Structure 1
């Protein structure tokens, strides 16, 4: 068994494994473009007697954290042929991927799980949920009229205003993908179109990504910066009342739209979506925007699969001091007091998915109640969200 990075001559084998594992077929005319896409990935594989047995893709992205852009390693395309399963190959690939992402300074990693429990074992955890709102035609009631206008765009007429709105919107949340023009062109529109709300000053304030077919309106992105845009876009949805029997809206679990509806009693489904993992805890904590509350809190961190994260971190006066054991060193050891947690819990805290008091109640973090209270004050109230897929 050997682990190595795939090169261009191996890409066809990688695609064959993907087609077998995920049960789809790549058209012959699409193979060349797929190879070009794979050149932007780092694909690592397990080779068993010169046969590709398992593989994993690491895709370089950036996400928005506290309004800053952080390097992120997107994990995707994890697959194994059935005859090679339960040999620990995927575990070896995940450990190798963590080491490579650490070297590439991708301080966090995101993935879409086939099984949440499986990836939790390796330090990834849920960081965001999606809310799907189902609205029947009878509940398409207009709200107060707005003074702005709606303009519609397609993939061919895509406008920079849309990207500006998304960039501003993403700063309100933790973990949203930083989208470049190529991503917009290749990964967003599909068969849909985008309706943008402009205020009286011709400033874009929100948009819908949507499709209308078979008498159903499917809103895949509902992105608003202001209440005016929220009302204006909702009224635009209502304008389809003669065309549709049902509207579905996919949005953040934090979106306030349902509260504003004439009939808020609509069907809503909240589902865990993407998972995140801290790859480099030291850099995450150093870059993170903690509140300066004039108190000190020690975090004692465990990480089974990324041992470079194991250590103690003192958060005080808006700064972080790191204590890690080094063989043969005489480094000062931190006191035994402090909050003890694993990398899963730290990830949930940093992304704002869970609060310290919640994890303490669940027994996921340990410490004295006064230390947990201090930790509550240190962490700002953030809202995580993620619209994309890879």
Structure 2
């Protein structure tokens, strides 16, 4: 995985944020005890060892806004390789965004994220992405929803009789690497799907709050969570299918679980078409449309050059003034809207950007990775 150079605290700087003087700098190991208090109060998760691994092993680096040497606002960066328009771009994944209760709504989180994005811009990172606690909050910083997801909840008895479950085979959790080639092929099928390295596979499957089982198919895989099923509903945490046949075989596998522990099953799809082609079931499935990941362009020059869209370059309006004008005097398209337009999620308001619409060649965008 490509990593940016981690900025040292020689780059720390005093910043006026409203009426507060804050030092924005990289979080070091000596800051951890205070940093974990900020994270614990923000997320309600108190396992200090897991926070330490997250901050200094899982993340490439963390940035904080320090007031009187206390990290009141934090964000970490996890570098990913992101699939886009048949190419691989660098993506700065933002995670662990938190602020201590006394300093919330003071602008410190915005200051931290602006610093993070400036670092990514200097490293010529093409895009940034995150899973938001508030979609409107991050829209103010140029991020936009870049994929829609469909959550399906269906009574197992009403799943159509299609496919052959015997084409799946169980895989031990310790043999998860058998799933990796399928995952690699799967991520290539969608815009904004993030690559998952071995370390991230291990982290994804080591969550104590879940009990995973794995099933592998020649053209897909399924990851189920059996821990504390809610309302006797099987949770399919991740379902990769590269063909319609693999999707049907997966439905057959789920259907075989309908007589013992589960009455219903729940899973996520990037595109409803394979499901809708099966016709109407009774009782009908419950389909919920959900917002997925938020993304934005960081370095516009690198983005257009490396995405294959160099002949369609436009200027953008960036509210954080990272890689575009902060006002809309030049263009009304924001850094997140640029991705929406290129992937076909949003039609451009400006005729000058019409050639960008659906220019990124992939049938859908799908943010598989959770971080």
TM bracket (short chain): 0.7 to 0.9
Matched, 1:138 2:157: yes
Deviation at 1:307, TM superposition (A): 4.2
Correspondence for 2:216: 196
Correspondence for 1:11: 32
| Distance in structure 2 (CA, Å) of the matches to 1:14 and 1:72 | 25
Matched, 1:247 2:280: no
- Per mean C-alpha deviation after superposition, the further-off stretch among 52-61 and 122-131 is 52-61
Candidates 181, 193, 206, aligned match of 2:220: 206
The secondary structure found in structure 2 opposite 1:18 is helix
Matched, 1:387 2:368: yes
The secondary structure found in structure 1 opposite 2:333 is strand
The secondary structure found in structure 1 opposite 2:180 is helix
- Alignment RMSD: 2.8
Conservation of the 8 A alpha-carbon contact between 1:153 and 1:159:
no
The secondary structure found in structure 2 opposite 1:285 is helix
* TM-score w.r.t. length of structure 1: 0.79
**Higher normalized contact order (CA 8 Å, seq sep 6+, divided by chain length):** 2
Conservation of the 8 A alpha-carbon contact between 2:298 and 2:322:
no
Structure 1's 58 and 373: CA in aligned 2 closer, same or farther, altered over 3 A? closer
- Per mean C-alpha deviation after superposition, the further-off stretch among 379-388 and 242-251 is 379-388
Conservation of the 8 A alpha-carbon contact between 2:160 and 2:278:
no
Matched, 1:257 2:272: no
Structure 1's 231 and 262: CA in aligned 2 closer, same or farther, altered over 3 A? farther
Correspondence for 2:338: 346
Structure 1's 23 and 223: CA in aligned 2 closer, same or farther, altered over 3 A? same
Structure 1's 86 and 373: CA in aligned 2 closer, same or farther, altered over 3 A? closer
**How do residues 1-390 of structure 1 correspond to structure 2 at under 5 angstroms?**
1-26=22-47, 30=50, 33-34=53-54, 36-37=56-57, 40-145=59-164, 149-160=167-178, 162-188=179-205, 190=207, 191-197=211-217, 204-212=218-226, 214=229, 215-243=232-260, 244-254=262-272, 256-260=274-278, 263=281, 265-290=284-309, 299-310=314-325, 341-350=333-342, 352-355=343-346, 358-360=347-349, 366-367=350-351, 371=352, 374-376=355-357, 378=359, 380=361, 382-390=363-371
Conservation of the 8 A alpha-carbon contact between 2:151 and 2:289:
yes
Structure 1's 188 and 168: CA in aligned 2 closer, same or farther, altered over 3 A? same
| Distance in structure 2 (CA, Å) of the matches to 1:189 and 1:82 | 30
| Distance in structure 1 (CA, Å) of the matches to 2:68 and 2:259 | 62
Deviation at 1:34, TM superposition (A): 4.8
Moved over 3 A (4+): 29-36, 212-215, 306-311, 371-382
Query: Highest Rg: 1 or 2?
Result: 1
Where in structure 1 are there 5+ consecutive unaligned residues? 198-203, 312-335, 361-365
Conservation of the 8 A alpha-carbon contact between 2:61 and 2:76:
yes
| Distance in structure 2 (CA, Å) of the matches to 1:95 and 1:32 | 24
Per-residue CA distance 1:333-389 (angstroms, 9 max, x = gap): xxx9x9752323212123x1524xx342xxxxx23xxx5654447554641101221
Conservation of the 8 A alpha-carbon contact between 2:125 and 2:302:
no
* TM-score w.r.t. length of structure 2: 0.83
| Distance in structure 2 (CA, Å) of the matches to 1:116 and 1:173 | 22
- Per mean C-alpha deviation after superposition, the further-off stretch among 219-228 and 151-160 is 151-160
| Distance in structure 1 (CA, Å) of the matches to 2:173 and 2:315 | 49
Structure 1's 33 and 59: CA in aligned 2 closer, same or farther, altered over 3 A? closer
Deviation at 1:54, TM superposition (A): 1.3
